[in-house]
Structures are given as structure tokens and as C-alpha cells.
Amino acid sequence: MAGRRNPQRRSTGRGRFHPFLSAGEPLVDWWIVPILFLCLTTAVAAPLRADNAAMERLFELAVRPTLVNKCVRCHGERKQEGNLRVDSLEFLLRGGDSGPAIDLEHPEQSLLLQALRYEGPEMPPDRPLDTRTVEQIGRWLKGGAVWPKASAVLHGDGKTKSASDWWAMQPLSTAPPPDVAGDSWSRTPIDRFVYAKMQEHGITPAPPADRWTLVRRAYFDLLGVPPTPAEIAAVVHDPAEDAWEHLIDKLLDDPRYGEHWGRYWLDLVRYAESDGWKADAYRPHIWRYRDYVITSFNEDKPFARFVLEQLAGDELAAQDPAALTATGFLRLGIYEYNQRDARNHWNDIMNETTDVVGDVFFGLSMACARCHDHKFDPILQEDYYRLRAFFEPMLWRDDQVAATHDQMEEYERRLQPWLEATREIRQQIDDLVQPYHDRKWRDTVDKFPVDIQACFHMPRADRTSWQQQMAYLVERQFEEEGGGPLKSMSKEDKAKYEQLQQELAKFNHLKPSPLPPLMTVSDFEGILTPTTIPDDPARRPIAPGFLSVLEGTAIGETLLAEATAPAGQLREGTTGRRTMLARWITSPHNPLTGRVIVNRLWQHHFGRGLVDSPNDFGAQGSPPTHPELLDWLVRDFVKHGGRFKRLHKMLLMSATWQQSAVHPQADQMARIDPQEQWLWRWRVRRLRAEQIRDAMLVASGRLQPQLGGPSVDHSAARRSIYVKQFRNRNDTFLHGFDMANGLHSVAVRDATTTPLQALLLFNGDFPLEQAHAMAERILQEVGPDDWERAVEQAFLLTWGRLPPVEELMAAQHFVHDGLRAPADEDKIRQRLADFCHVLLNTNQFLYVD
């Protein structure tokens, strides 16, 4: 490793840096600094000539695009081939190994121009620019190489560099709900925004849907499961004026709400319960994070708190088991149990975490900027690493429990008798396993590259954060790789070991039940390794920070001030970086993140967001169809504490949501608005994978209502959110219907239609089993012999209503035509089961209208 600059070789013992705006220690060796200083002081000040509007236009027309698109990749901030940078006038004048790139005294002889003309050095190397551009650059040089002050150093292509062009960062509109003359349709402010847009485009809304339809729609929308026939009847026949409002309140209080809406969040954070990779090891404790999400939704936790707990629950001063559980968010990513290339492994882990945070909270695809400035959005490569820097000090913890301080003390106290009673046996066990442990440690550590081994061998107190992260990756393989430390135990010792374990088990009655284990994180408490950009030869440290496009803007400064204000409740010893990030994201003044989360809610209620690209609020995404409505909703959301349930209720109370899927002039409307962006009817939607499975279990009457707890096998009759999710298995019933794969943040699921789904529904075991159970259940409920009622009940359990008479006749015919009870009872039973199976395959069951 000699001669290589490496964080672990830096001397230790220097003071810690300010937790917020420092990137840790710079990586620059002491001798580089004076040289850099020399370079800067010897730079020649540019003899700028008078400003000239025409010249500035030439700059924008030819010079900036050429330099940015063709040159800076090799002659810019990160790479300086031939020691040349071209991204500022100063750099061009200073030049590189071949001398100054431009010569203001003799513009025609400028090296830049010679290179572009392919006279001498040939640039760009792949092929010459068109002659017109070269001619324009020549004119610009002769005109004095006018360089706009605002562009001292070029970033990106200059078009998106400004925050003022980015709609999602603009202040929220204060426009009130519009008053449209003759609007007798609107019931809520939301409708008034929607109605105004309809008017503008010559569109009329669909009539309201009937009560049967609305009840079924509301159950699927809020709870993810269908109503029972009794529940439908109760609402449909409720004469009270506020029957509808009453239903919504009831559903929002139902704990099944969290089981449905929590699942949307789990898609976003790429929740899964296994590692992926070769072993695809199950993560037995991560379900507590899933329960945390469900509970948070059910408690209507304010969004700011929800975000803070997931990003920085460990940084809170008060020991809060729920907040600690929430940091499971930071443990959902990748981990490969036998990876020896620890350096790249951790790098992948950090990058993936950064990507997901960008997707989930900013609604921005940051991943592009990992390797280069974003081509379309005002996100610089540096911004990616600024974001990553918030997570750089993070250590993974597997030793924390979901318990309060008091609970832990109580546990310790109750453990004492067991510890005393078993002291001797445990000592014997320790002595027995010691040599095997020693050997396994040697084997484990030896397999890593030498520099990683060094991290492991150094005293913990001397390690930097990166060295500690490396040591962690080594340590985990001691237990988890190669069958664990006891795999090589001799037969004799194994027998002894098992006997000792049996003796130990005799004292189990003294042992308190263990505290619930968690997957969590906390920051390293020693010297922090700075974040750097991978191909930056200077290895310039990157401090945690926000999008550079916001620097100097009013909104940027406000958010920065809020995020960096002293955080009172910070736990001792943590950097507070992630708390700062959470506060920036959830600031009531942050228009971007507010729009992102409110749009997600709208999207799940209506099947499509007001912004149709919920994970891309950048230039490539769609602008909002109803910008004032979105902003009005964000304001309301923020003003009322960032609670989801209020927003759900407002949407379900609206005339917009309650429209029928059938519009009497549908053809005419579709000609004006084929994409249906003006929301002139309800759009029929297929159920999500979990809804299909859960609805079948509801229809068969088998669904177990139990909330939460460890995940179960898919054969268990629990809601799908509790089914174990392995990253390497996408061949279950749920995956057949486009379930999220847990590999990346999913904001919009596909809803594919394939022959394989048809086979799965028509021949697969699960739907058939539910059909049979459903038939049995119906026969029990309606009593024997009443076949006609049995058929009707089957419709109610699946479609939520009776069908048109023609379909009812066809069904009755199918079940008992030509048969006569009781002689043919078995046949009729069989046909009823077949009929239930048909219903579970129908669109009336699989879609919500």
C-alpha cells in the first residue's frame, strides 16, 4: 500500500470536526497545499474587454454548449488532461502543458481555435465540430472572448442551472379555489380546481357513481380489501345525510388502513426481507420495520416525524424504541454475506442508500449524477456526493433492541439469577468453543485483502469511520459465512457441546424472554472519513449539503438555516447529519418534498398523480396537470401538521373521486382528452397483487385478521403484507401480478396483462382452494337447497353487488341447470365451487370501478 493516499493511513487523534458542515478531514497531503496555492496566485488576471450583448449571445450559442458538451469531461473540474481546464476564462488563459488555450492578443493563433480546426491537436478527438460552430467561436475570440460574469465556472449545460426554471422548487401558489359561474357540481375546494380545468377544456364531469360502487371503491382504496355483503348493505341503506362521511371516518379508524397504505411506502423504500445475492439470507428481525410503518400510518403520524424517525431515529436524545425501529429503513439495502472486496461492497451499499433517499424523499432520480452531472436536471455530480455524505459516518448495528431504557434495566436485573446459576456451564461452553472460534477468526480475516485486514486488526479507538465500516464487514463473516464458527467442530466436541447446551436449557425458566432485536444504525463516534468523488484526482472532501442549484436563492437559504439550526434533542456522540437532512426534507417551507408526498397520496387514490412521474420531479418528468390544486393541497397538508388521514378524507369527500367510471359522452370527452388528465370520470383499475390475494381470502372467509408480527409463509391465510418477501424469488402468486421486487424504489407498479396470469388464476392452486372454501362457506351461510340464493351470495362476495339479470340467469343456469337437489347435491356443490372459481377470475372481481 506504500505511496497510496488512503484514509486509514492518516494520523489519528486530531480533533473532531463540526458535525454539520464539515466533511471530516481533507485527504490532501500536507505538501500539496502550497503547490495549489502557488498555482492560484500565479494565475493571470484576464484582460476583459467591454461587455457586448452580441458577444454574450455568441457565447451562449456556440461557446458554452461546445465547452460543456464536448470538452469539460476531459478538461474540467474532475479531469484535466494535458493539465488543461476549459470551464472558465481564467483556466483557458492559464492553459495547460501546451501553453495558454486562448491568446487575446492574437485570437487567430489561439490553441483552442487550432484544435477545433484540427490544425495541430485535434479536438474533440472523435470528430471535428461543424464549421459553423468553429467559425462562431472564432468570432467570439476576436470579439474579446466575452465571458458572462454569472458563469465564472461552467456547470452543466447552463440551461437548467437555475432554480428559477425548475417548477418543483418554485414557492407554493397561493391561488384560492376558483369560482366558476354556474358550478353546481363542486362539493369541495378540490372539485372547484378540477371543475375550472374541465370548463377550460370544454369537458363535463361524469355523474356520481352509485352507492354500491362507491362503498366497494372506498374499501379497496382505504383498506385494500373488499367490504362484506353486510357492510355494503349497511351503508347503502343508511338514510343518514352523513352516511358517507361516517363511512370514511370509520374506514380511516380501521387498522386495516395501515396494512394497505403502509404497503405503498414499503414499495417506495424497496422493502424486502432477504439479502439477495447467492444465499439470499432471511432477515428475521426486519419485519419490525414493516410493523413500524403500518403503525405509523394507523396512528396518523405527522409526516415530518415519520421521515425524521426513518432517517435519524437513532439520533434522537430520547431512547424511543419506535424511532430506533424506524432506522431499519437504512438497513433495507444490499448486503452480500461472502464478499471479500469489502471496499467496493461498502461503496455499493452507500450509493444504493443515496439513490433510494433521492427517489423516496426528493422524488428525483439522483443515480444519474453518481457518474456525471445530471443531463437534464439541475443536479451536479457533487450534489450526489453531498447527499451521500449525510450517510458516510453511518455504522450498521445488529445489537440494539426495541426497548426503553427502563425496560433494558429491568431485563438486566431479571437476567442476573440466570447468569449466576449458569456461570459454570457457560464457562465450560466458552472453553470448548474457544479454539474453534480462534480458528474461524483466522480463516475469516485471512480471506480479505491485506489493507482490509489491517482495518480489522487495529484497535477500535484508532479506527476512522471507514476503517470501522470495513472491520464490521469482516466481523459479520465470522458468524454468517462458511456455516458459522462451529461447523468444523469434532464429533466428540460436538456431542459435549450439545450436552452442555441441554444442561443450560434446564435453566431457561430463570431466563426472561429476550428483548426484541432490531436492525439499526448509528453514527461513528471517532474520526470521520470524508466523502470524495470517485474519479477526482485531488480527492477533494465533499461536505454534506443540499442541491447546489439552490445556493444563493431565497428558498435555499431558508431551508439551509432551518436544517442547520441547533438541534436540541440530539443524542450525545452522533453527528446529527441525518437529522439535518430530515429537517431539510420536512421543512414546511420546502415546496419540492411537500409536492412529492402529496402527489403520492393523490396518485394512489386516483391511479395517477397530478404529476404523472411521482419519482421524477425533474425536467424529464411531467409537470403537474393541476398545479394550483397540488399547491393548495400541499399548503393544507403542511398547515394541518402533515397528517395523511385528513388528506384522504378530503379526497374521498370530493365529487371528483365519487364520479362514475361511465360517462354518458365518453367518446366525445375522450376525443378532447384521451389521457383523461382532466379527471372527467373514475378510471377503472386492476387491483394490486396484494389486493387480489387478500380479496380472495376475504371471499373465501379464511382471512385471519391478526395484525402485525413475524412474517409468514405464503400458504398462511394472512394479509399479503405479512407474507415473507425474498429478493431472489419472484415466482409467487403475488409476483405474478406485478408486486414490487424490493430491488429498487417503486413509485408506480406496472399492471401487466399476460397469458401466464390467466394460467395462474385459472389453473393455479391458490384461486382454486379459495373457490372451494368460498362455496363451502356460502352453503353454510344460506343453508342447503337454496341454490339461487347461493349464487347471489357468490356475486355479493366477489363483485359486491348483484349482476344484471342476463348474467344472473347465465350463472343460475351454470350452477343448477338440469340438476335436481337433493339427488344431485354433490354435483351442484361442485358446480358452485366452479362458479366461485369463475367469479375469482372475472374483471368485475379483479378491477375496481
Shorter beta-carbon distance to another protein: residue 49 or 744: 744
> 615 by DSSP, 3-state: which?
coil
Residue 522: its H or E element: strand 520-523
CB 702 within 8 A of CB 797: no
Of 171, 830, 16, the residue nearest 553 (C-alpha): 171
The Cα 721–Cα 263 span in angstroms is: 7
CA-to-CA separations, 453 to 346, 458, 695, in angstroms, rounded: 15, 9, 53
Nearer to another protein, 428 or 728 (CB): 728
For another protein, give the closer residue by CB, 299 or 834: 834
Q: Does 812 bind another protein (CB under 8 A)?
A: no
Residues numbered 820-839 forming contacts with another protein, rule: CB under 8 A: 834-835, 837-839
Q: Count of residues binding another protein (CB under 8 A)? A: 82
Closest approach of Cβ 368 to another protein, in Å?
6
Q: Is 615 in the site for another protein (CB under 8 A)?
A: yes
Under rule CB under 8 A, residue 684 binds another protein: yes
Q: Verify binding: residue 126, another protein, rule CB under 8 A.
A: no
Tell the smallest beta-carbon distance from residue 617 to another protein (Å): 9
341-360 residues near another protein, rule: CB under 8 A: 341, 348, 352, 359
Q: How far is the CB of 183 from another protein (least distance, A)?
A: 26
Q: Which is nearer to another protein, 252 or 357 (CB)?
A: 357
Q: How far apart are CA 317 and CA 268, in angstroms?
A: 28
Our finding on whether 755 is near another protein (CB under 8 A) is yes
- Report how far residue 130's alpha carbon sits from residue 135's, in angstroms, rounded to the nearest whole number: 9
d(CA 193, CA 515) in angstroms, rounded, equals: 52
Kindly report the number of other CB atoms within 10 A of residue 281's CB atom.
Answer: 16
- Residue type (1 letter), 95: G
| Residue 751 binds to another protein (criterion: CB under 8 A) | yes
* DSSP structure class, residue 394: E
Based on the shown chain and the rule CB under 8 A, indicate whether residue 741 belongs to the binding site for another protein: yes
Q: Give 674 or 822: the residue with its C-beta nearer to another protein.
A: 674
3-class DSSP state of 401: strand
Segment lying near another protein (by CB under 8 A), choices 170-178, 500-508, 541-549, 619-627: 619-627
CA distance 193 to 197: 7
Q: Please, which residue, 34 or 755, has the CB nearer to another protein? A: 755
Binding segment (CB under 8 A) for another protein, from list 120-128, 223-231, 447-455, 704-712: 447-455
CB of 699 to another protein, least distance (A): 15
Q: Which position has the grid cell 400541499?
A: 634
User: Residue 464: phi, psi to the nearest 5?
Assistant: -85, 175
Contact 712, 703 (CB under 8 A): no
Of residues 357 through 416, those in contact with another protein by CB under 8 A are 359, 365, 367-368, 376-377
The reply to whether 167 sits near another protein by the rule CB under 8 A is: no
Q: Contact with another protein (CB under 8 A): which of 52, 109, 338, 502?
A: 338
207: helix, coil or strand? coil
Residues facing residue 686 across a β-bridge: 847
Q: Which stretch binds another protein (CB under 8 A): 245-253, 337-345, 427-435, 571-579?
A: 337-345
Specify whether the CB–CB gap between 787 and 828 falls below 8 A: yes
**Which region, judged by CB under 8 A, interacts with another protein, from 108-116, 385-393, 404-412, 747-755?**
747-755
- Residue 730 is a binding residue for another protein (CB under 8 A): yes
Residues 710-729: x where in contact with another protein by CB under 8 A, - otherwise, as a string: -----------------xxx
Name which of 338 and 501 has its Cβ closer to another protein: 338
Cα of first residue to Cα of last residue in the chain, in angstroms, is 66
Residue closer to another protein by CB (options 523, 676) is 676
Among 340, 370, 571, 649, binds another protein (CB under 8 A): 340
Instruction: Give the residue among 63, 78, 57, 77 at the shortest CA–CA distance from 129.
Output: 63
Show the cell assigned to 380: 451536479
Q: Does position 188 bind another protein by CB under 8 A?
A: no
The residue within the footprint of another protein, chosen from 58, 811, 828, 848 (CB under 8 A), is: 811
Q: Which stretch binds another protein (CB under 8 A): 158-166, 233-241, 312-320, 738-746?
A: 738-746
Q: Which of 807, 821, 824, 825 binds another protein (CB under 8 A)?
A: 807
Which lies closer to another protein via its Cβ, residue 89 or residue 611?
A: 611
Rounded distance between C-alpha atoms, residue 670 and residue 126, angstroms? 49
- Asked if 60 touches another protein (CB under 8 A), the answer is no
- The yes or no reply on residue 59 touching another protein (CB under 8 A) is no
Q: In the window 264-283, what residues touch another protein (CB under 8 A)? A: 276-278, 280
Nearer Cβ to another protein (15/674): 674
User: Are the CB atoms for 622 and 613 separated by under 8 Å?
Assistant: yes
Q: Smaller CB distance to another protein: residue 39 or 810?
A: 810
Residues 6 or more apart whose Cβ sits within 8 Å of residue 432 = 493, 496, 497, 500
752 binds another protein (CB under 8 A): yes
Determine the Cα–Cα distance for residues 727 and 747; give it in Å rounded to an integer: 18
Any idea what DSSP says for residue 69? I
**Bridge partners, 108 (sequence order):** none
Nearer to another protein, 518 or 692 (CB): 692
User: Is residue 816 within the footprint of another protein (CB under 8 A)?
Assistant: no
CB 170 within 8 A of CB 636: no
Residue of 126, 572, 713, 750 that binds another protein (CB under 8 A)? 750
662 binds another protein (CB under 8 A): yes
Cα 462 to Cα 459: distance, rounded to the nearest angstrom: 5
Q: Does 472 bind another protein (CB under 8 A)?
A: no
Binding pattern to another protein, positions 594-613, x when CB under 8 A?
-------------------x
Site for another protein in 663-682 (CB under 8 A): 666, 670, 674
CB of 286 to another protein, least distance (A): 17
Least distance between another protein and beta carbon 346 (Å): 13
Looking at residue 567, its amino acid is A
Q: Residue 342 CB: number of other CB atoms within 10 A?
A: 22
Residue 297 interacts with another protein (CB under 8 A)? Answer: no
Q: E strand or H helix at 827, and its extent?
A: helix 825-841
At its nearest, how many Å lie between another protein and the CB of residue 757?
7
Q: CB 534: neighbour CB atoms within 10 A? A: 12
Least distance CB 727 / another protein (angstroms): 7
Residue type, 204: T
Give the three cell numbers for residue 373.
452531472
Residue 597 phi, psi dihedral angles, 5° rounding? -75, -40
Single residue of 686, 777, 816, 829 touching another protein by CB under 8 A? 686
- Minimum distance of another protein from residue 525's CB (angstroms): 30
Say whether residue 296 binds another protein (CB under 8 A).
no
Q: How far is the CB of 369 from another protein (least distance, A)?
A: 11
| Rounded alpha-carbon distances, angstroms, from residue 191 to 172, 659, 666, 683 | 19, 11, 20, 17
Contacting another protein within 765-784 (CB under 8 A): 765, 768
Q: Is there binding between residue 159 and another protein (CB under 8 A)?
A: no
Q: What's the full length of the chain, in residues?
A: 849
305 vs 686 by CB, closer to another protein: 686
Q: How far is the CB of 339 from another protein (least distance, A)?
A: 6
* 392 Cβ contact partners less than 8 Å away, ≥ 6 residues apart: 24, 350, 465, 528, 529, 530, 531, 544, 577
Please check whether residue 247 is in contact with residue 234, taking contact to mean a CB–CB distance below 8 angstroms.
no
Instruction: Assess contact for 618 and 379: CB atoms under 8 A.
Output: yes
